[in-house]
Structure 1
Amino acid sequence: WITFFPPTCCGPFGWFCAGVTVLFGVTLLCVAKRSPVEKANVLVWRLLPVLLGLLCVATLGAAEGLVVFCGTCLISSAYLGSRALLPVGDKAVLITGSDTGFGHALAKYLDSLGFVVFAGVLHKDGPGAEELRKTCSRRLSVLQLDITNATQVKEAYLKVSEKVQNTGLWGVVNNAGILGFPAGGELLPMSMYRQCMEVNFFGAVEVSKTFLPLLRKSKGRLVNVSSMAGGIPLPRCAAYGASKAALSMFSGVMRQELSKWGVKVAAIHPSGFRTGIQGTSNVWEKQEKEMMENLPADTRQDYGEDYLLGLKDYLLRMPAYCEADLSPVLSAILHALLAKRPQGVYTPGKGAYMFPWVFCYLPLWFYDFFVSKMMNTESVPRVLRASEAKSKNL
């Protein structure tokens, strides 16, 4: 003991530092005992400063040790403040787009945690809705909710209000969305731009505005599921990316404006996950036909039939580049719903942070090159192929 704590550190001030450190550690052990869910975080991020404090007092001296100890305590407190979760209790959450994908998995996940879940679906009698009824508890209610239909949104609001009554609605998760046909911005028909904006942006705004009185009453959470494509430009995502960018901006503005009401707003920007958002082969054929019918003759000639018909192959390759495990997104949404200090933006999934970092901090020419290689956008229109071949012959 004498060897570990030199005589210079064993004065009154040194013993005070050691006493504060020990008291702090005992308090945190009690906190960990009361909160099993956060026990690992508490033990790692709060006991670490305790041990570091003792070490600093022993090696640096009392004054220096106390400074380092206080600094590490502040850092760990800030970290744990963002990690601490509120109890689920009887909190009620509305989720749009619960037929498949993130919404479907989230409805099951929140139900298993004890939430009162209102699962909005596009097809109330569809397979996704039926599975929710069969596998989830009686707390979960399936609601017919086409977010582009103002009447259905209003009816859903009345049903939710009637059920929650004085308890209030804690959260709204705007998850419903469509991808559209992945083609160049010049090739997409205007109807695809309008459809993406109608579902991905205007629908989410309609739901948010309708249910905000309930969220303001409970000082709850508004969570908007955007996309990595809503923060950075990605090839073949002109319509989808533009609509998600609008949703991300809406989320940021609402986060600022609703803070005075105690409502916290978060945007989720996932990378690629296998959610089925790309649709089925029947949907692809319909979208492809619509695109081909609306192309001007000269544009169709310049791009070439083989290039245009090959666009659908990208849809077939998409699942290979997407993650099957949806848990990172579910965890991010849960944190946004329950954290005492939720983040404004979450980026779950591989590449969801890397791509924006490259876009923000490196030259644009490098970002464009990086994205073209990562997304395999190597197909070339007919006119450009002919021009390249002619240049080589010369």
Structure 2
Amino acid sequence: MWSVIVSLVMLLVFIYVCFGTYIVTYSAFTLGLLLLAQVLRHRGGSLSDGSDRAVLITGCDSGFGHQLAKTLDSMGFMVFAGCLCSNGHGAQTLAKEGSQRLRVLQLDVTKDEDVRLAKALVEANLPEKGLWAVVNNAGITDWGETEWNSIKDYQKIIDTNLFGSIRTSVAFLPLVRAAKGRMVFVSSIFAFFHCLNMGAYSISKRGLEAFADCLRVELSSFDVKVSIIQPGNFGPATNIRSKKTTQEIWDKLDDEHKVIFNRSYIECANTYFQSMCNAGSKNSHMVIDSMVHALTAPNPKVRYLLVSFKENIFFSVFPYLPTVVKDAVFSLSPIYHKRKVMLYS
């Protein structure tokens, strides 16, 4: 709550500097209402007992999905844990350590047949109160400058992160609507933070949030709540990081791009990216707790921004900054200075 208050104060200071006293007064009133809504949202009880309610989670092989499946299972929910590899280590661990309520499903969200079979299995095994929620967690990441990625690279990440969530959501919506339950989407700060080398991933997550926003407005008529999870850098806590060697990147480039993006720069960019990933949080409790809140709170948030306290101030204000200021922020990063020198030297 304090992070929200600090973020609002910072935003008011920014508005005052740019627009003056009148706008600040109006903005303060508006933001006051938002803060009051934030407080009211956290009041009331929660759905602590998941008995007779089912939740479908995609991407349970590892990372957030794997941990959430275990958490919800311990809370009494019937968990349908969708795994890309139902015979893999992650799926076998869930089957071994979970209760009898936990069911592991073969679910590649990019395949219509997998989704169809998963829905049939879920429908045949629903508890009394039905399918309470779907957590669209399955996702992959990739990194590289816009010109380094092929159309196939873009198609692969979008088919999983965006179309995979759409495919799963549309299939299971009738069941969630009948239960007046929840739809949860795992996005990222990169849905609105357009930094260097994350273009393909940002495209997929920005599209995902657009879909979730549209769905939230439509489903409000049916008392179904939609939440978006926006994790920051949790690379060490998950297996979503994409590791590439400089040679692998270099081999994908044609002769023209090898001239523009020299090998030295690619090595530098690769080192920087991996170091940034390694600097991320190793503990995913913040994400899991927010997912549980989205599934059990009487009034869940629309968006859960999950970053450190210091980062929360920055990322809460960032979407409201003028584009010229947003772009200027990136000039503060050392990799941008190195990039300009190395590519034009």
- Shorter chain as denominator, the TM-score bin is 0.7 to 0.9
What SS is found at the alignment partner of 2:126? helix
The structure 2 residue matched to 1:354, chosen from 313, 319, 324, is 313
State how far apart, in whole Å, the 2-side matches of 1:361 and 1:123 are. 41
The one-letter code matched in structure 2 to 1:139 is: R
Aligned to 2:292: 334
> Could you say which residue in structure 2 is the equivalent of 1:277?
240
Is the 8 Å Cα contact of residues 265 and 343 (structure 2) preserved in structure 1?
no
Alignment map for 1:1-394 (pairs within 5 Å): 79=40, 82=43, 84-88=45-49, 89-164=51-126, 166-180=128-142, 182-273=143-234, 274=236, 275-279=238-242, 281=243, 284-285=244-245, 289=248, 291-350=249-308, 353-373=312-332, 376-380=335-339, 384-386=343-345
Please tell me the residue identity of whatever aligns with 1:277: I
- Alignment partner of 1:268: what SS? strand
Q: In the TM superposition, what is the alpha-carbon distance from 1:362 to its structure 2 partner?
A: 3.7
Structure 1 counterpart of 2:289, which letter? S
Paired residue secondary structure (2:79): strand
Question: Residue deviations 1:210-241, cap 9 Å, x none?
Answer: 00010011011000000000122122110000
Q: Could you tell me which residue of structure 1 aligns to residue 25 of structure 2? A: none
Residue identity (%): 36
- The structural deviation recorded for 1:352 is 5.9
Q: Which secondary structure state, in structure 2, belongs to the residue aligned with residue 322 of structure 1?
A: coil
Work out the CA distance in 2 between the residues paired with 1:120 and 1:220.
19
Query: Which structure 1 segments of 5+ residues have no match?
Result: 1-74, 387-394
Report the Cα distance in structure 2 between the residues aligned to 1:375 and 1:126, rounded to whole angstroms: 40
Distance 1:379 1:92 in 2: 51
Secondary structure of residue in 1 paired with 2:125: helix
Q: Is the alpha carbon distance of 1:326 and 1:201 closer, same or farther for their aligned partners in structure 2, counting shifts above 3 Å?
A: same
Q: Matched residues in 2 for 1:238 and 1:327: separation?
A: 27
Q: Which amino acid aligns with 2:173?
A: L
- CA distance in 1: counterparts of 2:213 and 2:117, whole angstroms: 28
State the 1:343 CA deviation. Answer: 1.2
Name the stretch that deviates more: 368-377 or 297-306: 368-377
Moved more, 123-132 or 158-167: 158-167
Contact 2:250/2:263, CA 8 A, preserved across alignment: no
Post-superposition CA distance 1:250-292 (Å, at most 9, x none): 111100001111111111111111312114x5xx25x963x54
User: Displacement, 1:76?
Assistant: 10
Preserved contact between residue 82 and residue 339 of structure 1 (Cα < 8 Å): no
Structure 1 contact 82–342 (Cα < 8 Å) conserved = no
Q: Give the Cα–Cα distance (whole angstroms) in 2 for the partners of residues 126 and 325 of structure 1.
A: 23
**Aligned-partner residue type, residue 336 of structure 1:** A
Aligned residues of 1:228 and 1:352 also touching (Cα < 8 A): no
The one-letter amino acid of 1:278's match is R
CA RMSD of aligned residues (A): 2.5
TM-score, structure 1 as length reference: 0.72
**Is the contact made by 2:187 and 2:230 (CA closer than 8 Å) also made in structure 1?**
yes
Larger Rg: 1
Cα pair 2:287 2:306 within 8 Å, conserved: yes
TM-score by length of 2: 0.81
8 Å contact kept, 1:336–1:343: yes
Separation in structure 1 between the aligned mates of residue 44 and residue 333 of structure 2, nearest angstrom = 33
Amino acid corresponding to residue 215 of structure 2 in structure 1: M
Q: Give the whole-Å Cα distance in 2 for the aligned partners of 1:80 and 1:224.
A: 19
Q: Which residue of 1 aligns with 2:31?
A: none
Give, in angstroms, the shift of residue 191 of structure 1. Answer: 1.6
Structure-2 change in CA distance of 1:338 and 1:236 (3 Å)? same
Unaligned runs of 5+ in 2: 1-35
| Alignment correspondent of 2:22 | none
Shift of 1:108: 1.0
Superposed CA deviations along residues 51-94 of structure 1, whole A, max 9, x for unmatched, are xxxxxxxxxxxxxxxxxxxxxxxx69953654531242322111
- Given residue 354 of structure 1, which amino acid in structure 2 is its aligned partner? I
